[in-house]
Chains A and B, each alone.
Chain A
Amino acid sequence: MSAGPARAEPVAPRAGDPQAARGFRRALRATLGRSYPRIIGSNRDKSWLFYDTVLPLLGTVSFVYVYKTFGAPERFLAYVIMGGATTAFWMNVMWSMAAQFYWDKQAGNLELYMVAPCGLLPILLGMSLGGLVATTLRAVVIVAAGSLLFGVSYAGGQIPALLLVFAVAMVALYGLGITFASVFLMWGREAWHMANTFMEPVFLLSGFYFPVRALGFWVGLGASLIPLTLALDAMRRLLFPGAHPALLPLAAEVGILAALAVGFAIAAWVSLRKMEMLARREARLSLRF
């Protein structure tokens, strides 16, 4: 992940400052340390193979048959498969991150994280990294299995551009994930449930299973606030050059994604600081009460 130095120094760290260098190395270690349980967890408990890949696949299969019935072009099958893979990331960010963070608080981990000198940001980055690695594994399984099952093929050749779009989208997405996780921790489970019910239709609207253009330009642009919308659109046009009706020119889509990445990264940082302030001032996160 393209995260900057994760220390909030009162003075801007100067290059070559040993204190800042030490802080940066510690932040890096902390990030990798926190990602470890998630990555290892996926390997120790194999049940994810079923729950996280077979179930999303079953969900997409129904869309595949709908499209087949209507005689949609072959790339629509690929849309659905890609949408299924993307759903895994959306679930990870909207559901798993917030749930894990809440669980961390209940288990008493959050207090230990706050007492540690690395600060909360590297911890959350580590959580994101762990989620990203584990989810990418699932997404690859879903795409591979789905494509084999329905005999879908893609245009190669555009892999570097594809990876760039994916990387930028992931920074934006996990920035959003960290923001949500800390906001939900501050405002409680109710806010979380509310946002989830609210998000469900939004995410169906954001073109996971069809070109977002189909919604019309303005709705499509609105749905682009969810980083996955434009990421999917850009990746689909790269995989089906000429055939995919994209919402915006590629450069504009990547530009907006980059702006979202910066915006959500700042939002994540601000909401974590705010959360820590509230915790220390109002004992919001205290356990036994």
Chain B
Amino acid sequence: MSHAIEIRDLARTYRSKRPPRSGGPATVVALDGVSLDVRPGELFGLLGPNGAGKTTLIKVLVTLLLPSSGSARVAGLDVVADARRVRELITMVSGGETSGYGLLTVREQLWMFAQFYGIPGRRARARIDELLEVVGLGEEGDRRVSALSSGMRQKMNLVRGLVPDPEILFLDEPTVGLDVGAAREIRAYIKRWIGEKPNRTILLTTHYMAEADDLCDRVAIIYKGRIIACDTPAALRRRSARGSRFVLTTDPLDPGARLGDLPGVVGTEMRTADGRSELELQLADDGAISGVVRALSEGDRKIYSLQKLEPSLEDVFVEIVGRRMEEADEPPSG
């Protein structure tokens, strides 16, 4: 098995739920020719605004939806022909899930789901206890599911996905709607889990840039059903044409200072306040900063701070799509 997940020219359309008045199309293209490979051991992120097709892609991979065309293999197995065997090797956890039965206790609910994977009772209970401890729910095991906060609930859902010890874990926006603290904890458990064994693989979707950046080995940016970029977060950021930007504070410069003429300096912006000048520099490449520093020190200007501005995945998205990601959300249907 060379790839954990292998997607070729995958397309999926839905019949439109909006009334066909207004002459709108009768079908919605949710995935439009997606090809991707995820390596074993990878924590792979699918980043995109609402309506981009993230959930649809996950549903095809976990055998909940058939592809309209194209193919996908999970753990080397075809998601259409070998759906049963695929299901033995995967689990799925989605953000904002309200799954299960409120009248059960956390332990009972997790035990029930473990039974669907055929895990013998004692082994299931031991694993559940161990994992509840890991996610900090050791004390909540006997509480009713209906009494959990949304953060606790999502941790329980994550445990549900981990109990069968899947080869490939699918996480659909696992931190959506959680407060900052709970989201950070969930991310830490995800990292910990995948780090424990070399061949565990995760496909995670998110519309949070920082989450993709922080968690993922590689990120594919998806927009309107197409993959528009795919690389490591660092490489994606480097790819940004805004490339190299620095902020520097120094002694006041006269407005006439011709820093813009230095080799490799593409643009400058200067603000002077409180007896200091703050310079924002756009450079052709990182190396050009040495010329700026030299020019300042030759002019007898002290340098108080120098900081490289890292481009964000947001910058990458804006450059390719021409809009910020929040602005690219699909309006809610209905």
**Stretch in contact with the other chain, from B106-114, B247-255, B261-269, B319-327:** B106-114
B304 CB-CB contact with A under 8 Å: no
A37 CB-CB contact with B under 8 Å: yes
Q: Mark B257-281, 1 if CB is under 8 A from A, else 0.
A: 0000000000000000000000000
B104 CB-CB contact with A under 8 Å: yes
B115 CB-CB contact with A under 8 Å: yes
A283 CB-CB contact with B under 8 Å: yes
A22 CB-CB contact with B under 8 Å: yes
B282 CB-CB contact with A under 8 Å: no
Check A116 against B112 for contact (C-beta < 8 Å).
no
What's the nearest-Cβ distance from chain B to residue A223, in Å?
36
Chain A residue with the shortest CB-CB distance to B114: A33
Check A44 against B66 for contact (C-beta < 8 Å).
no
A273 CB-CB contact with B under 8 Å: no
Chain A residue with the shortest CB-CB distance to B101: A37
Given contacts A108-B94, A115-B64, A115-B92, contact A26 B118 (CB under 8 A): yes
Tell which of A30, A41, A113, A114 touches B101, judged by Cβ atoms closer than 8 Å. Answer: A41
A17 CB-CB contact with B under 8 Å: no
Alpha-carbon gap, A112 to B92, bound state (A)? 8
What's the nearest-Cβ distance from chain B to residue A277, in Å?
9
Chain B residue with the shortest CB-CB distance to A22: B118
Residues of A within 8 A of B69 (CB): none
Check B117 against A118 for contact (C-beta < 8 Å).
yes
Check A289 against B17 for contact (C-beta < 8 Å).
yes
Tell which of A25, A117, A122, A280 touches B64, judged by Cβ atoms closer than 8 Å. Answer: A280
Q: Mark B7-49, 1 if CB is under 8 A from A, else 0.
A: 0000000110100000000000000000000000000000000
Check B63 against A37 for contact (C-beta < 8 Å).
no
B65 CB-CB contact with A under 8 Å: yes
Check B100 against A26 for contact (C-beta < 8 Å).
no
Tell which of B59, B66, B100 touches A109, judged by Cβ atoms closer than 8 Å. Answer: B100
Residues of A within 8 A of B88 (CB): 117
A281 CB-CB contact with B under 8 Å: yes
Residues of B within 8 A of A289 (CB): 14, 17, 333
What's the nearest-Cβ distance from chain A to residue B219, in Å?
24
Check A114 against B66 for contact (C-beta < 8 Å).
no
**Chain A interface bracket (under 10, 10 to 19, 20 to 34, 35 or more):** 35 or more
Residues of B within 8 A of A119 (CB): 84
Check A112 against B117 for contact (C-beta < 8 Å).
no
A190 CB-CB contact with B under 8 Å: no
Check A30 against B97 for contact (C-beta < 8 Å).
no
Check B101 against A279 for contact (C-beta < 8 Å).
no
Alpha-carbon gap, A30 to B164, bound state (A)? 13
Tell which of B65, B66, B103, B117 touches A37, judged by Cβ atoms closer than 8 Å. Answer: B103
Check A40 against B62 for contact (C-beta < 8 Å).
no
**Chain B interface bracket (under 10, 10 to 19, 20 to 34, 35 or more):** 35 or more
Check B111 against A33 for contact (C-beta < 8 Å).
yes
A250 CB-CB contact with B under 8 Å: no
Chain B residue with the shortest CB-CB distance to A107: B98
Alpha-carbon gap, A119 to B117, bound state (A)? 10
Given contacts A107-B99, A117-B87, A281-B66, contact A33 B92 (CB under 8 A): no
Residues of A within 8 A of B201 (CB): none
B90 CB-CB contact with A under 8 Å: yes
Chain B residue with the shortest CB-CB distance to A106: B98
Check A41 against B87 for contact (C-beta < 8 Å).
no
Alpha-carbon gap, A36 to B118, bound state (A)? 15
Alpha-carbon gap, A223 to B17, bound state (A)? 40
A234 CB-CB contact with B under 8 Å: no
A200 CB-CB contact with B under 8 Å: no
Residues of B within 8 A of A41 (CB): 101, 103
Residues of A within 8 A of B115 (CB): 29-30, 32-34
B91 CB-CB contact with A under 8 Å: yes
Residues of A within 8 A of B90 (CB): 115
A123 CB-CB contact with B under 8 Å: yes
Alpha-carbon gap, A220 to B39, bound state (A)? 65
Chain A residue with the shortest CB-CB distance to B91: A115
What's the nearest-Cβ distance from chain B to residue A11, in Å?
12
What's the nearest-Cβ distance from chain B to residue A100, in Å?
10
Alpha-carbon gap, A210 to B159, bound state (A)? 53
Check A283 against B92 for contact (C-beta < 8 Å).
no
What's the nearest-Cβ distance from chain B to residue A285, in Å?
9
Alpha-carbon gap, A289 to B103, bound state (A)? 27
Tell which of A40, A108, A281 touches B108, judged by Cβ atoms closer than 8 Å. Answer: A40
Tell which of A22, A123, A281, A282 touches B116, judged by Cβ atoms closer than 8 Å. Answer: A123
Check B87 against A116 for contact (C-beta < 8 Å).
yes
What's the nearest-Cβ distance from chain A to residue B212, in Å?
22
What's the nearest-Cβ distance from chain B to residue A163, in Å?
28
Query: 7 more A-B contacts (CB under 8 A) besides A29-B118, A116-B113, A122-B116?
Result: A26-B116, A30-B118, A36-B112, A108-B94, A116-B87, A117-B117, A280-B66
20 contacts between A and B (CB under 8 A): A8-B84, A26-B118, A33-B113, A33-B114, A36-B112, A41-B103, A111-B64, A111-B92, A112-B113, A115-B62, A115-B63, A115-B87, A116-B117, A117-B84, A117-B87, A118-B118, A280-B65, A281-B66, A282-B15, A289-B14
Leading 9 A-B pairs by shortest Cβ distance: A33-B115, A26-B118, A116-B116, A117-B87, A37-B101, A29-B115, A117-B88, A33-B112, A108-B99
